[in-house]
Amino acid sequence: MEPVVRAEGLRHRYRRRDALAATTLDIPAGRIAGFIGPDGVGKSTLLGLIAGAKRCQTGTLQVLGGSMKSARHRRKVCPRIAFMPQGLGKNLYADLTVRENIDFFARLFGHGRRERSRRIGELLAATGLEAFGDRPAGKLSGGMRQKLGLCCALVHDPELLILDEPTTGVDPLSRRQFWQLIERLRAHRPEMTVLVATAYMEEAERFDWLIAMDAGTVLATGTPAQLKAQTGTDTIEGAFVALLPQSRGQRETLIVPPRRAADHETAIAARGLTRRFGDFTAVDHVSFDIQRGEIFGFVGSNGCGKTTTMKMLTGLLPATAGTATLFGKPIAAGGMRSRMRVGYMSQSFSLYTELTVRQNLDLHARLFHLPAASIAARTEHLVRQFGLEDWCDQLASSLPLGIRQRLSLAVAVVHQPDVLILDEPTSGVDPLARDLFWRLLVDLSRNAGVTIFVSTHFMNEAGRCDRVALMDSGRVLATGKPQELMEARSAQTLDEAFVSYLEQAKGKTPVPTAPALRENAKHSRSTFSLRRAFAYALRESLELLRDPIRLGFALAGTAFLMLIFGFGITTDVDSLSFAVLDRDNSFESRAYLGELRGSTYFIERPPIRDANDLQERLKSGTANVTIEIPPGFGRDMKRGRPVAISAWVDGSMPFRAETIHGYLEAAHRQFLADPAIHGNGQAASPPVVEVSLRFRYNQDFSSVYAMVPAQLALQLALIPAILMALAIVREKELGSIVNLYVTPVTRLEFLLGKQIPYVAVAMTNFAIMYLMALFIFGVPLKGSFSALLTGALVYVLATTAYGRVISAFTRTQIAALFGTAIMTVLPATMFSGMLTPVSSLSGIAAFSGRFFPMTYFLPISLGTFTKGLGFGDLAGHLLVLSLFFPVLTLLSLLLMRPQET
Partner 1 sequence: MRPLSTIFWLSMKEVRSFLGDWVLVGLVIYTFSLAIIAQAQSNSQELRNASLGVVDEDGSALSHRIVAAFLPPYFKTPESVAQGDIDRLMNTGRYTFILDIPPHFQRDVAAGRAPVLQVLVDATAMMQAGIGAGYAQQIINTEVSDFVRHARSPGVPADLAARIAFNPNITTAWFTSVMGVITNVTMLGIILAGAAVVREREHGTMDHLLVMPVTPFEIAMAKVLGNAVVLTVAVGLSLSLVVRELLHVPIAGSIPLFMVGVAIYLFFAMSIGIFLATIARTMPQLGLLFMLVAIPLNMLSGANTPLESMPPLLRSVMETSPTTHFVSFAQAILYRGAGLELVWREFVDIAVAGVAFFALGLIRFRRVAVAS
Nearer to partner 1, 1 or 693 (CB): 693
Nearer to partner 1, 228 or 617 (CB): 617
Task: Please name which of 354, 357, 304, 340 lies closest in space to residue 170, comparing C-alpha atoms.
Answer: 304
Nearer to partner 1, 442 or 643 (CB): 643
Nearest-approach distance from CB 698 to partner 1, in angstroms: 4
The two beta strands, 266-277 and 321-326, are antiparallel
Nearest-approach distance from CB 473 to partner 1, in angstroms: 17
Nearest-approach distance from CB 336 to partner 1, in angstroms: 5
C-alpha neighbours within 13 Å on the C-beta side of residue 29: 17
Nearer to partner 1, 592 or 741 (CB): 592
CA 878 to chain centre: 35
Rounded (10°) angle between helices 142-154 and 113-127: 140
Nearer to partner 1, 354 or 390 (CB): 354
d(CA 369, CA 686): 87
d(CA 241, CA 231): 9
Output DSSP code: residue 742: H
Nearest-approach distance from CB 166 to partner 1, in angstroms: 24
Nearer to partner 1, 182 or 412 (CB): 412
Quote the longest CA-to-CA distance of the chain: 128
Nearest-approach distance from CB 321 to partner 1, in angstroms: 17
d(CA 48, CA 117): 30
| 508 to 167, 172, 533: CA distances (angstroms) | 21, 14, 42
Nearer to partner 1, 528 or 701 (CB): 701
Nearer to partner 1, 424 or 495 (CB): 424
Nearer to partner 1, 252 or 279 (CB): 279
Nearest-approach distance from CB 802 to partner 1, in angstroms: 16
Nearest-approach distance from CB 869 to partner 1, in angstroms: 6
Nearer to partner 1, 628 or 749 (CB): 628
d(CA 147, CA 162): 14
Nearest-approach distance from CB 384 to partner 1, in angstroms: 23
Nearer to partner 1, 84 or 722 (CB): 722
Nearer to partner 1, 195 or 411 (CB): 411
d(CA 813, CA 806): 11
Output DSSP code: residue 520: P
Output DSSP code: residue 899: S
Q: Is the dihedral of CA 484, 490, 492, 497 positive or negative?
A: negative
Nearest-approach distance from CB 562 to partner 1, in angstroms: 11
The two beta strands, 342-345 and 329-330, are unpaired
Nearest-approach distance from CB 438 to partner 1, in angstroms: 22
Do residues 738 and 53 lie in contact, with contact meaning Cβ atoms separated by under 8 Å?
Answer: yes
Nearest-approach distance from CB 572 to partner 1, in angstroms: 5
| 790 to 322, 786, 794, 827, 869: CA distances (angstroms) | 63, 6, 6, 23, 13
Strands (DSSP E) along 444-509, which ranges? 451-456, 467-472, 475-480
Nearer to partner 1, 272 or 651 (CB): 651
H/E/C letters for each residue in 137-176?
A: HHHCCHHHHHHHHHHHHHCCCCCEEEEECCCCCCCHHHHH
- Order of strands across the sheet that contains 295-299: 342-345, 419-422, 451-456, 295-299, 467-472, 475-480
The phi-psi region of residue 559 (left if phi > 0; otherwise alpha if psi is between -120 and 50; otherwise beta) is alpha
Task: Please name which of 436, 378, 3 lies closest in space to residue 254, comparing C-alpha atoms.
Answer: 436
Output DSSP code: residue 700: T
> 584-593 burial, b for 16+ CB within 10 Å, e for fewer?
bebebbeebb
d(CA 101, CA 673): 80
Nearest-approach distance from CB 654 to partner 1, in angstroms: 4
* Angle at alpha carbon of residue 59, lines to 57 and 65, rounded to 5°: 105
Nearest-approach distance from CB 844 to partner 1, in angstroms: 4
Nearer to partner 1, 1 or 549 (CB): 549
Other CB atoms closer than 10 Å to residue 583's CB: what's the count?
13
Nearer to partner 1, 101 or 624 (CB): 624
Nearest-approach distance from CB 467 to partner 1, in angstroms: 24
Helix (H) or strand (E) holding 2: none
Do residues 853 and 798 lie in contact, with contact meaning Cβ atoms separated by under 8 Å?
Answer: yes
Beta bridge partners, 330, equal 325
Do residues 697 and 867 lie in contact, with contact meaning Cβ atoms separated by under 8 Å?
Answer: yes
Nearest-approach distance from CB 12 to partner 1, in angstroms: 23
Nearest-approach distance from CB 680 to partner 1, in angstroms: 11
d(CA 312, CA 477): 19
Nearest-approach distance from CB 731 to partner 1, in angstroms: 12
Nearest-approach distance from CB 645 to partner 1, in angstroms: 5
Pinpoint the alpha helices (H) of 318-371.
Answer: 336-341, 357-367
Task: Please name which of 351, 342, 343, 427 lies closest in space to residue 388, comparing C-alpha atoms.
Answer: 351
Task: Please name which of 139, 54, 53, 154 lies closest in space to residue 93, comparing C-alpha atoms.
Answer: 139
Do residues 333 and 316 lie in contact, with contact meaning Cβ atoms separated by under 8 Å?
Answer: yes
